Amino acid sequence: MINLHEITIAARQAAHTLAVLDRTAKDGALQALADLLLEHAPEILSANAVDIELAEQAGLAPPLIDRLRLSESRLRGMADDVRKVAALPDPVGVVFDQKVLPNGLQVHRQRVPLGVLAVIYESRPNVTVDVSSLALKSGNAVILRGGKETLHSNRALLKVIHQALEACEIPAGAVQFIDSSDRALLLELIQMGDEVDMLIPRGGAGLHRFCRENSRIPVMTGGIGICHLFVDETADQKAALQVIHNAKTQRPSVCNALDTVLVHHAIAEGFVPALIGHFQGSGVAFRLDPAALDAFQAQPVAGTEVSLAGPEDFDTEWLSLVLGVRVVAGLEEAIGHIQRHSTGHSDGILTRDPAHADRFVQQVDSAAVYVNASTRFTDGSQLGLGAEVAISTQRLHARGPMALVELTTYKWVISGDYHVRP
Amino acid sequence: MINLHEITIAARQAAHTLAVLDRTAKDGALQALADLLLEHAPEILSANAVDIELAEQAGLAPPLIDRLRLSESRLRGMADDVRKVAALPDPVGVVFDQKVLPNGLQVHRQRVPLGVLAVIYESRPNVTVDVSSLALKSGNAVILRGGKETLHSNRALLKVIHQALEACEIPAGAVQFIDSSDRALLLELIQMGDEVDMLIPRGGAGLHRFCRENSRIPVMTGGIGICHLFVDETADQKAALQVIHNAKTQRPSVCNALDTVLVHHAIAEGFVPALIGHFQGSGVAFRLDPAALDAFQAQPVAGTEVSLAGPEDFDTEWLSLVLGVRVVAGLEEAIGHIQRHSTGHSDGILTRDPAHADRFVQQVDSAAVYVNASTRFTDGSQLGLGAEVAISTQRLHARGPMALVELTTYKWVISGDYHVRP
C-alpha cells in the first residue's frame, strides 16, 4: 500500500538535508551512482529484459520497445551522463544581485533548491537516472512516477540509486519511486500543493493537460513542439536544404523536430521542388498547401509521397517523417503563421538579410528562436547547460531547456545594523 | 454582459503590440497617466466618495474604510509612483547569458514580457494604478478584477488609464477591468490557462487557496506572512527592542509585520520583561509561551495586555497589534520553530555572532532572511526594485517582492551559419 503522506514527509526531510549539503558530498553520491550502475549492470539488464518481454507480449510498436531497451552501452552512456552532472558547477549557494542600499542595508539573492520535485514520465528508463542525478546535484528531493512499461527496470535502477545514497549517508527520501500506475494515486499526488514544490510532467499532450487541469502543485509544462523554419527570399538555398533535412530527420520522434517549412513566394517555384527532391529516399511524406503543391506539380519528383495539406495539418506535431510546406507572401505572413500555429517551442528563419533576422527574432516569441540553424539544438546539453530535466514551453519560471539552475529558486538575504523602516 | 472570451482576445492582441513597444512609448503613456490622474482628480474623488458612502452604509470597519479612501494627496502619491515606474529601466529586451558555443553557435537569452496577466485583488484602489503601470512598463497586457468595495473608484481610474493609453495610441486591451464581482465569472477567468499567462491573487489566504485549487493559469501566490525575529544571546538588546517595535507597529496590518519573537533562554529573564515594558502604551497585546510568561511574572509591567499563548497562536498571521513571544533553548530550536511555523515570507535573527547569523541564513529558507534588521523591509521599493506588483511566497518563478523583471520571462536566441546537429 503506497502512502503518499509518508512519501512526501520523507521527501521534505531529505530536502532539508540536501539543501545544506556541500558540493563534495553531492558529487560523491553521483560518482558512486555511476560506478554502481556499471557494477550492477547484469541485474538492471535482466530486469529490463522482463519489461521488454512484457512489452512484446502486449504488442507494443517496435520503436516504443526500442525506447525501453537498455544495453551495456546504454548503461555506460547513463553512467557517463551522471559523471557529467557531477562535473557541472553547483548552482546552490550562488549569490547574485548583491548591493548596498542608500540606508546601508546589505542585500543579495542566493540560490537555493526548490525543495521537493515530482516528475511524472513515460517509457525511457534513462529518465529515472537523469532526473535523479539532476535533482540530487541541485539539492532537491524528487518523487518519481514512471510508466508501467518500465516498472522492472525502474525498480532495479532505484535499488542502485538508493545504494549510492546510502553509501554517502544521504537519506533514501531524496529519491523515491511510486511503484504504481494507479491513476487515482497520480491525481492524489498532483493535488499535494503544500507538500510538493514543482511538478514536471514528461509525456504527451494528454498528460500535460491532465496535470494543468488537476494539479495544485505549480506545474512546468512543455515538450510539445510544432516547430517551423521560414526560408526567406535571401536564404542560401543549398544550405537551407541541409538545415531542413537535419531538423526533420535527425531524430523525428522528438519535440524539437521540424514540422512545417514556410517558403517565401519569390523562391517557391524553384525551392519547393528542390526541397522535395532533396528528401528523396528519406521516407518523408509531404503535406503541401495549394501554392506549394502548384510549385511541385510544375516540376514533380518521383519517389516521394506528396499530398495536399488537410485543415489540421499545420496544427499537428508530427513526431514522425511528415513535413508540412506552405508558401507565404513574405516575412510578415511567416511570422503571422508562426504566431497562430506554433506551440512556442522552437522556430527559426533561414536568411541572409540581417534586418529580416532581427524582425523575426523580435516578433516570434518562442522558447527558442533560431537564425540559420536547425531547431534540433533546443536541448540542455546542446545549448551548453550540461543536461536537462525537461523543456518548458510555459512562460513562468523557466523557458526552453531546464537544467540545474532552473531547478533552484532564490532567497533574499538582508543584513543590517539593527535597521528599522522609517 | 461580460464576455471573457472577447476580453482575453483583446488582451492577447494588445500584448503583441506592447511586446515590441519601445521604452519611450511606454514611458510616454505613464507620464500621460500621471498627468491625467491629477487633472481628473475631482471625478475620481467623487466616484471614491460613492464607494466610501456605500462602505459606511454596509458597516465596514473604519480601518477598512480608510484603506478605500482617496484624497488629493493620495492621488498625488499615486501619480508620483507612476512617474517612478516610468523612470525605472525597461526590463524588456535585456540580453543575458550570452555565449558562443564550441561549434560556433551564438546563444543568448533575451527578456520578453510574460504576455497577459490577470490580477485579482481587494480593497485599495491604488492597486489598480500600481499594477497597470507596472504591467505597461514591462510590456504585459493585464486583466484586472478588483473588489466590489472600490467599484466606482476603479471605474473612474480605468477611464483615466484608457485616456492615457489612447493618447499614446496603445490599444485599450492593454488594461481591462472586469466590472463584476460574480464568483462564477472569476472561476471562469482563472480557468483560462491558454489565454492568460500568469494569475496574481492579492488578498487573504482564502483567495490564494481558491486560486491554487481552481486555476489552470500558473498562479503566483504570496502575501501571507507569519514573520519571526529570533533574539540571540549576543544581540544588542536595546537595539533589538527598537527593531522589534518597528517590525510590529510600523504598519501592523501588512504581511511583513512581525508575528512572533523567539528569545534565547539565556537572556529571557531580563529581555522578556524589557520587551513588554518597551511596548507600554503601544496597544500591543502579548501572547507568551509558559517560559516567557514566567519571566514576565517575575518582573510584571502594568498597562500591557499579556496572556498565555493558545495552541493556534504561533500559527496565526496577526495583521494587528498582537505579538507572540516564545523562549527557545538556542539557535537550533529557533530555526526549528521557524521551519515549522513560518509561511516562508520574512524571518530574521538579531545577533552579534557572525557564525550564528550565517547558520540562520543558511538554514532558514524564507523568501527574505534578515540579520539585524526589521522584517518590514520586504517590499519592492524598500529593496531597491522601485515598486512591486505582489510579494511571492511560492518557490517557482519569483520569490519575495515581484517588480518589473519578475513580470518578464525570456526567450533563447540562437544564431548560426546554417548549423545542423550532428
Model pLDDT for residues A278-294, shown as the tens digit of each residue: 999 999 999 999 999 99
Q: What is the rounded average pLDDT of the residues A322-337?
A: 98
Q: Which of A362, A396, A409 sits opposite B198 (nearest CB)?
A: A396
ipTM for the whole complex: 0.94
Backbone angles phi, psi at A202, to 5 degrees: -125, 105
| A291 vs A293: CA distance, rounded Å | 5
User: What cell numbers appear for B193 in the block?
Assistant: 490557462
pLDDT at A284: 96
Chain B residue with CA closest to A113: the answer is B395
User: What cell numbers appear for A182 in the block?
Assistant: 494507479
pLDDT at A261: 98
Q: 3-class secondary structure for chain A? A: CCCHHHHHHHHHHHHHHHHCCCHHHHHHHHHHHHHHHHHCHHHHHHHHHHHHHHHHHCCCCHHHHHHHCCCHHHHHHHHHHHHHHHHCCCCCCCEEEEEECCCCCEEEEEEEECCEEEEEECCCCHHHHHHHHHHHHCCCEEEEECCHHHHHHHHHHHHHHHHHHHHCCCCHHHEEECCCCCHHHHHHHHCCCCCCCEEEEECCHHHHHHHHHHCCCCECCECCCCEEEEECCCCCHHHHHHHHHHHHHCCCCCCCCEEEEEEEHHHHHHHHHHHHHHCCCCCCEEEECHHHHHHHHHCCCCCCCEEECCCCHHHCCCCCCEEEEEEECCHHHHHHHHHHHCCCCEEEEECCCHHHHHHHHHHCCCCEEEEEECHHHCCCCCCCCCCCCEEECCCCCCCEEECCHHHEEEEEEEEEEEECCC
**Which of chain B's residues have a Cβ under 8 Å away from the Cβ of A343?**
none
Residues 111-140 of B with CB under 8 A from A: 112, 114-115
- Is residue A151 within 8 Å of A126, Cβ to Cβ? no
- Of A23-27, A42-46, A393-397, the one with minimum mean pLDDT is A393-397
> Mean pLDDT across chain B, nearest whole number?
95
**pLDDT higher than 90, residue A124:** no
pLDDT at B221: 87
A193 touches chain B (CB under 8 A): yes
Angle, alpha carbons B397-A172-A86 (nearest 5°) = 60
Residues 309-348 of A with CB under 8 A from B: 339
pLDDT at A333: 98
**pLDDT higher than 80, residue A123:** no
pLDDT, one tens digit per residue, over A165-176 is 999 999 999 999
Indicate the pTM of the whole model. 0.92
**pLDDT higher than 80, residue A384:** yes
**Which of chain B's residues have a Cβ under 8 Å away from the Cβ of A418?**
236, 239-240, 242-243, 350, 372-373
Q: What is the rounded average pLDDT of the residues A161-189?
A: 95
Q: In the sheet where A116-121 sits, what is the strand order? A: A175-177, A141-145, A116-121, A198-202
**pLDDT higher than 90, residue A418:** yes
- Mutation choice for A interface testing from B219, B232, B420 by most A CBs within 10 A: B420
The answer to whether the CB atoms of A421 and B357 lie below 8 A apart is no
pLDDT at B205: 82
**pLDDT higher than 90, residue A206:** no
- Is residue B244 within 8 Å of B263, Cβ to Cβ? no
Backbone angles phi, psi at A409, to 5 degrees: -125, -160
A396 touches chain B (CB under 8 A): yes
Chain B residue with CA closest to A392: the answer is B411
pLDDT at A66: 86
Alpha helices in B88-222 (DSSP H): 126-137, 151-167, 183-190, 205-214
Chain B residue with CA closest to A229: the answer is B418
Q: Which of A361, A384, A414 sits opposite B370 (nearest CB)?
A: A414
A218 touches chain B (CB under 8 A): yes
The full set of domains in chain B, from first to last, is 4-221+394-415 (3.40.605.10), 227-377 (3.40.309.10)
DSSP category for residue B394 = S
A44 to chain B, closest Cα gap in Å = 30
| A246 vs A248: CA distance, rounded Å | 5
pLDDT, one tens digit per residue, over A348-367 is 999 999 999 999 999 999 99
**Segments of chain B scoring below 50 in pLDDT:** none
The answer to whether the CB atoms of A243 and B112 lie below 8 A apart is no
**Which of chain B's residues have a Cβ under 8 Å away from the Cβ of A358?**
none
pLDDT at A97: 94
Q: Which of B246, B374, B413 sits opposite A369 (nearest CB)?
A: B413
* Residues pairing with B230 in the sheet: B262, B349
**Which of chain A's residues have a Cβ under 8 Å away from the Cβ of B195?**
none
| A161 vs A34: CA distance, rounded Å | 9
pLDDT, one tens digit per residue, over B127-163 is 999 999 999 999 999 999 998 899 999 999 999 999 9
Q: What is the dihedral of CA A336, A341, A344, A349, to 10 degrees?
A: -50
pLDDT band at A61 (very low <50, low <70, confident <90, very high): confident
- Is residue A350 within 8 Å of A334, Cβ to Cβ? no
| A55 vs A152: CA distance, rounded Å | 12
